[in-house]
Amino acid sequence: MKLRKIASLTAILLLFFAVAIAQTRSISGRVTDNTGNPIGFASVAIKGSKIGTNADAEGKFTLKTKTGDVLVISSTGATPKEYTVTADNNIVVVLTVTSKELTSVVVTSYGIKREAKSLGYSTATVGSEQLNVSKPVNAAQGLIGQVSGAQISIQNNGVDPSVRVQLRGERHLNADNQALLVVDGIESRIDFLASINPEDIETMTVLKGASAAALYGSEATNGVVIVNTKKGSKNGKPIINLKQTTTMEQLAYFPALQNTFSGYGGEQGAFFTGTPYAFTATNPYTGFTNYIPFENQQFGPAYNGNPALGYIGSPNQYGQVDSVPFWPQAVDPRKAFFVNGITTQTDASFSSGDNLNSNFLSLQYVNVNGTVPKDQANRENLRFAAKRTYGPLTIDYSVNYSHKYTNVVGNDFNGTPVYWNLMNTLGNVPIATLKDWANPNSFANVNNYYNAYYANPYWAVDNSRVINKYDNIQGSLNASLKVTNWMNANYTLGALITNTVYKSTLAGVQFSSFARTDPWGEGNYQSSGNKPGGVTDLTLYQKRFEQNISLVMQKKIGNFDTKLILGNDIWDRYSNQQTQSNNNLYLPGIYNIAFGTGIPSVSNNVQETRLIAGYADLSANYKGFLFFHGNYRRDYSSLLAVGHNSYDVYGVDAALSFYDLLPALQKTEWLSFAKVRGAHSSTGQITVGPYSTVNTYNVTSGYPYGSQASLSLSSTYNNPALVPEKTVESEVGLELGFLKNRINFNFSYYHDNNTNQLFPVAVTTSTGYSNANVNAASTVSEGYEFDLKLNKIIDTKKGLRVDFNTNLAVQTTTVKSLYGGTQFFNIGNSNEAIVGYTFPQMYVTDLVRDPQGHVVVDGTTGLPSVTSTYIPVGRTTPKYILGLSPTISYAHFSLQVIADYRGGYVFYNNSEQNLDFTGASAHTATNGRQNFIYPNSVIQTAPGVYQPNKSVYTQDGNIGFWAYSPYRKAGTSYVENAAAWKIRTISLTYDFTPLVAKYKFIKGLKLTALCNNVAMFRPKENDFTDPEFNYNNSNGYGYNTYYQLPPTRQYTVVLGFTF
C-alpha cells in the first residue's frame, strides 16, 4: 500500500521535472520591507490587465511581462506601489509597511508558509526578542503571558524545573495533554525545549487547536509549538552577538510557619532519668506537656527563654547535650538553610549571509547554582546552521549539540526529602550550624542529631545525590527545489538522538551502638538499624528519525490563486532503557552495583514505533478576500494491530476579509482590517504505548531463585481491538483592526469533541486482570480566546511610546462518558475524571456537614468527623488565564512588564496538611493551641436537627486537633483557591547603541536589568506556596507537596554586545 504511494509520488516528481526544463524566461522579483525582510504573499498585477500573480512566502515572484508594463504591487498592511518594467530581469520592490502584525507570514505545519490573513484558525507567533524578555533558560518559560490559550506551568523550583506546555486545556483522560514540539520541521518531544538555547530561536509559532495542527495527524490534537531556528543574517554583513547574563535567585515566598511553640509529639511517660536533663513528657505540676527536645513535631510549651530548657536533642553517649537558648532562632532555621542561587548565561553567536546564502553559529553556556546548597545544573549548546541557494535549489540545515547536567540532592537514608526534614526542624534549632555531620562527636552527626525521627538535611546534601546528564544531537536538512514557476519539491530529513545517563547515589550509615539501643526510648530512627548505601544507574538512549517529502504546486485558476501540497511523512522512534540498582552497597564511597550484597535489580525496556503518512493540502485565495483551505492525511501506525492501524485526519477552514471585500470599509479612517474565519477538523490519535495490543508475561516478582525461573501473566489486558481516539474540533474567529491597526482585536471560540479515548479501565481482578485497555470515554472541551493589542497608546514626538498587549482565555473540559456505566476514573494526585464534571476534578474527603454546609461536630468532643465518601470540589486547571504585557519606551530606555492571572481553579495543599501534622505551620497556632469552638459548627441534637454550636470546645486544641483530628484527615480542609496574580517579569533596558554608533567596531550595546517572579498575589487562604507548582508533570494537576521547594525571585543583569 505505502510502497505504491511512494512510487506514485516518485512518478509525479519525474513528470514535473520534464515540465521544468521546458519553462521559458520571464522577469523575477522580490518584495521586501524597508529593512530587507521579505513581504510574503504580496499581490503583483499588471496594471490594466487581468494578468498577475502572488509572491511566495519569501516575497519572490515570477511573471511573464514586457518592458513598459506597469506592475501594481500591494499587500495588506502596506502602502501599494507601482513599478514600471525595464530591461532589468531581476527587480526588488520595497513597500512601506503600515502594520507589521497583519503582513506577517505564518509558518504552519511542515513549514508551509501561509499569509496570516488567509488562516481560518488561530495561531500565534512569538519572535526572538519577545521570547527572551525574561531571559529564560527554558524557552517554554518565554511563552508565559504571551499567547492566549497557552498554559505554561512551571512545576517546581530548582535548577532544572520541569515546565508543562498545554494548549487549550486538557482533553485526554489518560494520555499526555502537552503540545507537540516541532523543531525546524521535525517532530520532537516537548521536553526537548529544555535543551534548546532560547537565543537560537527565530520564531516560535503556536498552533493552538487541532484544526491548525491537523496536518501533523495523530500527534497534533493537543496543538503544536513550532520552533524555527536562526539560519543567519540576510543583509550581507557579518554580525557577532555577545551576551552575558547574571542572575541571583532568592527565596521569595515561604510557607507561613509558627515560631511560638516548642517540641512535643504526643509522648507519654518518663524519658531522661539522669541529670541534669531529667524530665517527663507530662509536667507533674501543671498536667500540661513538657518540652520534648528530640521531637520533630512542635506541639510543646511556648518558648519562654527558660535557661533550664536551653537544649535540643537527647544526651549523646558522653552525656552531653547541645545547648541553645529556649527561644526561636533570630532567622527562621527553615529559611536559613537556603542559599542565594546564582545563574550565569554566556551567549555568543555569529551570523552572516545575504538573501541566497547565510550561516549561523551559536554557543551558549548556562550554569545554575540553586537555592538548595550544592544543587547545580549547567548546559552547553552549540548550533550551526546554514542556508545555500544553488539556482533553483535551496538547502538549509542545522546541527545542534547540547549537553545538560543536573546534580541535585536526593532523599535521605529514611527515604524522606530534604525539604521535609527541614520542615520538621524546631524553631530553636540553629540548623545552619549543624553542617559538620561527618564529625562523629558533632551534634550534626547522624548519631547525635537532635531530631530522633528525621535526619539532618545537611547529611542528605552531602550524601544523597541525583545526577542526570543529557547529550542531545539534533539535526535537520531541508532541500527545496523550484521545479517550475509553479511547483516546488521539498525534502526534509531530521534526527534527534538523546542519551541520558542517570545516577543516584545514597551513602550507607552505620549507627553507633549507643544510638541504636535507643537509650531514651524515643523510638529513634537509629534503632531501626544500619542503612546500607545504594546506587541506581539508568541509561536511556532515544533516537528519532523523520523524513518528509512534499510537492508544492501553485496555480492561478480564474480568480482563484490555488496551492496544492502533496506529501509523505515517515518517522521512526526508538528507545532503549537500561536500569540497574543495588541498595545493599558495603563499601563507603563506592557507588558501583558490583560492590553490593544480595542481587542487583536490573531491567531493560526497548520500544520502537513507526508511522507512515500521506497528506494533501489545498488552499485557494479568491481575489484576496476569501480563503479556503483543506487538508487530508492518512496515517499508518505500528502501534495498533493490523486492520486497526490506519486512520484519516482532515481539516477544512475558511477566512473572509470584509475589509478587502468591501471598498467602502477601506475608505473609513477608523477601520483598518476585518476578517471572520472558521475551521473544522477531525484528528485521530493513538495514546497507548507500543505493544499495547498483545498480552504478555512478566518475570514473577522475586524470581529467579537460583536456576528456578517463573513467569506471571501481566495484570493489564492488552486489547487487539483498540482503534485510535478521535478529536473533532470546530473553531470560529473574528479579527479586527482599528485606527491604522493601532488597535488589533482577535477572538476565537472552539469546541472539541474527544471521543473513543483509550485508557486502561480498572476491572476487578476476578476477571483475571486488574485493568484493561479499552476505547471508551469522551470529553468535550470548549473555550474562548481574546487577544487585544494596543499599539502606540501614547506616541509622543519626544519619543515616549506605550504599547499594551493583553490576552484572555477561558477554557473548560467536561467528561461526557467513561467506560460502560463507570462514573469515575482516577488520574492521580487526588484528581479524578467524573462524568458530568469539568476535568480534571479534585476529588477528596470532606467533613460531615449539615444541609446548609455547616460542619457538624460531636456534642461531647467538639470535633468534626470525616466523610467516608469523596466529593468533587473543583477543577484543578485554570478556567481563566489572563496575560498582560505593557511596554513603555522613552529615548534609549524601554520597560517591559509581563503579568498574568490564572483563576477559577483549586489546588490541594498537601504540604500544609503535613505541616499541620508536624505543628510547624502558622495555621496550627491560630488558636494559641487552646481548645476552641470549631467555627460555624453545628451539633446534631436529633436525626436531621442541627443546633449552632455555641459552647462545646474541641477536646484538644493542640496536637490532638492539628495532628490527629478528622479535621486534618479531611481533604477539603486543604483544598484552596489556586487563583493568583503574578508579575512574572519586569525588564528595563538601556540601549547604548546610538552612543556607541561613532565607533566602527561596535554595532550595538544594550544593558538590561530584569526581575523574574516579581510578585504574586494570592487569596488569603493560600499562605504557603505557588499554586502553579505540582507534584509531578502529569494530568493530575494542583497537588502541592513537600517535594516542591518554596518559590523564588530572580534578579538578572544582561549585557549584550553586537559587533
Partner 1 sequence: MKKLVYILFLVAVVGSSCKKSFLSELANNPNSPTDAVATVQQVLPGTITSLTNTVTGVGYSGGYQGQAAWVGYWNYSGGYSFNQTVQEYVVTNSSPQVWDNYYGTLANLNVVVQKGGTSVTLANYKDIAQILEAIAYKNLVDAYGDIPYSQALKGQANFHPSYDKASAIYDSLVAKLDGVMSEIQTNSTNKNVVVPGSEDVMFGGNMGNWLLLANTVKLKLLVQQSAVASKQAYIKTEAASTQSIGYLTTNAIANPGYSSSQQGEIYGNFGISTSGGLNGSFNYIRAGGFALNFYKSTNDPRLGYFYGTLGTQPTDANGDYYQQSTNPADYYGDLLGIQATAPSKGSPIGPGIVKAPNQGDPLLLAAESYFVQAEAVLRGYITGNAQTLYQAGITASYEYLGVTNADAAAAAFYGQTGITNVSWPAAVNDQISTVITQKWAALNSLNCAEAWNDWRRTGFPNVPATKSPTAIQKHMPFRYFYPSEEATANADAWKAAGGDVLDPYSTKVFWMP
Site for partner 1 in 253-272 (CB under 8 A): 268-269
**Bridge partners for 1005 per DSSP:** 1057
Backbone angles phi, psi at 560, to 5 degrees: -100, 130
Selected from 83, 254, 541, 824, the binder of partner 1 by CB under 8 A is: 824
Q: How far is the CB of 863 from partner 1 (least distance, A)?
A: 13
Euclidean distance between CA atoms 74 and 978, whole angstroms = 50
Output the DSSP codes for 1000-1041.
TT--EEEEEEEEEEEEEE--TT--SS-TT--SSSSS---EE-
Q: How far is the CB of 412 from partner 1 (least distance, A)?
A: 16
Q: What's the angle, vertex CA 701, arms to CA 695 and CA 702, rounded to 5?
A: 150
Q: Does 696 bind partner 1 (CB under 8 A)?
A: yes
Place of cell 483557591: 977
Q: How far is the CB of 910 from partner 1 (least distance, A)?
A: 17
Q: Does 859 bind partner 1 (CB under 8 A)?
A: no
- In the three-class reduction of DSSP (H, G, I as helix; E, B as strand; rest coil), residue 789 is classed as strand
Beta strands in 198-331 (DSSP E): 201-207, 224-229, 239-251, 311-312, 322-323
Q: Does 23 bind partner 1 (CB under 8 A)?
A: no
Which 700-729 positions form the footprint of partner 1 (CB under 8 A)? 700-703, 705-715, 717, 719
Selected from 112, 126, 429, 549, the binder of partner 1 by CB under 8 A is: 549
Euclidean distance between CA atoms 368 and 354, whole angstroms = 37
Exposed, middle or buried, 1058 (CB in 10 Å: 0-12/13-18/19+)?
middle
Euclidean distance between CA atoms 157 and 571, whole angstroms = 35
- In the three-class reduction of DSSP (H, G, I as helix; E, B as strand; rest coil), residue 389 is classed as strand
8: left (phi over 0), alpha (psi -120 to 50) or beta: alpha
Q: Does 606 bind partner 1 (CB under 8 A)?
A: yes
- Start-to-end CA distance of the chain, whole Å, equals 55
Q: How far is the CB of 145 from partner 1 (least distance, A)?
A: 41
Exposed, middle or buried, 304 (CB in 10 Å: 0-12/13-18/19+)?
exposed
Euclidean distance between CA atoms 105 and 120, whole angstroms = 14
**Bridge partners for 411 per DSSP:** none
Q: Which is nearer to partner 1, 606 or 891 (CB)?
A: 606
Euclidean distance between CA atoms 370 and 343, whole angstroms = 8
Q: Does 642 bind partner 1 (CB under 8 A)?
A: yes
Q: How far is the CB of 963 from partner 1 (least distance, A)?
A: 10
Q: Does 305 bind partner 1 (CB under 8 A)?
A: no
Selected from 36, 310, 325, 392, the binder of partner 1 by CB under 8 A is: 392
Q: Does 273 bind partner 1 (CB under 8 A)?
A: no
Euclidean distance between CA atoms 852 and 315, whole angstroms = 54
How many residues touch partner 1 under the rule CB under 8 A: the total is: 94
**Of 498, 229, 494, 243, nearest to 361 (Cα)?**
229
Selected from 34, 90, 275, 766, the binder of partner 1 by CB under 8 A is: 766
Selected from 238, 276, 440, 529, the binder of partner 1 by CB under 8 A is: 529
Q: Which is nearer to partner 1, 238 or 768 (CB)?
A: 768
What would the x/- binding string for partner 1 be over residues 742 to 761, using CB under 8 A? -------------------x
Q: Which is nearer to partner 1, 499 or 609 (CB)?
A: 609
Sequence length of the chain is 1059
Q: Does 602 bind partner 1 (CB under 8 A)?
A: no
Using the contact rule CB under 8 A, the part of the chain among 1-9, 169-177, 430-438, 776-784 near partner 1 is 1-9
Q: Which is nearer to partner 1, 585 or 679 (CB)?
A: 585
Q: Which is nearer to partner 1, 592 or 696 (CB)?
A: 696
DSSP code of 765?
G
Using the contact rule CB under 8 A, the part of the chain among 16-24, 751-759, 846-854, 1028-1036 near partner 1 is 16-24
Which 556-585 positions form the footprint of partner 1 (CB under 8 A)? 568, 570, 583-584
Q: Does 588 bind partner 1 (CB under 8 A)?
A: no
Euclidean distance between CA atoms 461 and 1026, whole angstroms = 24
Q: How far is the CB of 915 from partner 1 (least distance, A)?
A: 18
Q: Does 24 bind partner 1 (CB under 8 A)?
A: no
Q: Which is nearer to partner 1, 11 or 945 (CB)?
A: 11
Pairing of strands 358-369, 180-183: unpaired
Q: How far is the CB of 6 from partner 1 (least distance, A)?
A: 6
Q: Does 86 bind partner 1 (CB under 8 A)?
A: no
Q: What's the angle, vertex CA 101, arms to CA 100 and CA 105, rounded to 5?
A: 90
Euclidean distance between CA atoms 931 and 508, whole angstroms = 44
Which cell goes with 77?
498592511
Q: Does 521 bind partner 1 (CB under 8 A)?
A: yes
Q: Does 597 bind partner 1 (CB under 8 A)?
A: yes
Pairing of strands 778-795, 771-775: unpaired
Q: Does 8 bind partner 1 (CB under 8 A)?
A: no
Q: Which is nearer to partner 1, 638 or 894 (CB)?
A: 638
What would the x/- binding string for partner 1 be over residues 352 to 391, using CB under 8 A? --------------------------------------xx
Q: Does 538 bind partner 1 (CB under 8 A)?
A: no
Using the contact rule CB under 8 A, the part of the chain among 299-307, 462-470, 518-526, 625-633 near partner 1 is 518-526
Q: Which is nearer to partner 1, 28 or 86 (CB)?
A: 28
Q: Which is nearer to partner 1, 313 or 519 (CB)?
A: 519
Using the contact rule CB under 8 A, the part of the chain among 76-84, 352-360, 647-655, 765-773 near partner 1 is 765-773
Q: Does 822 bind partner 1 (CB under 8 A)?
A: yes
Q: Does 286 bind partner 1 (CB under 8 A)?
A: no
**Of 448, 468, 474, nearest to 459 (Cα)?**
448
Q: Does 608 bind partner 1 (CB under 8 A)?
A: yes
Exposed, middle or buried, 326 (CB in 10 Å: 0-12/13-18/19+)?
buried
Output the DSSP codes for 38-106.
B-TT-EEEETTSS-EEE--TTSEEEE---TT-EEEEE-TTB--EEEE--S-SEEEEE--BS-HHHH-EE
Q: Which is nearer to partner 1, 1 or 330 (CB)?
A: 1
Q: Does 821 bind partner 1 (CB under 8 A)?
A: yes
Contact call for residues 628 and 678 (beta carbons, < 8 A) = no
Which 453-492 positions form the footprint of partner 1 (CB under 8 A)? 479, 481, 483, 489, 491
Q: Which is nearer to partner 1, 496 or 899 (CB)?
A: 496
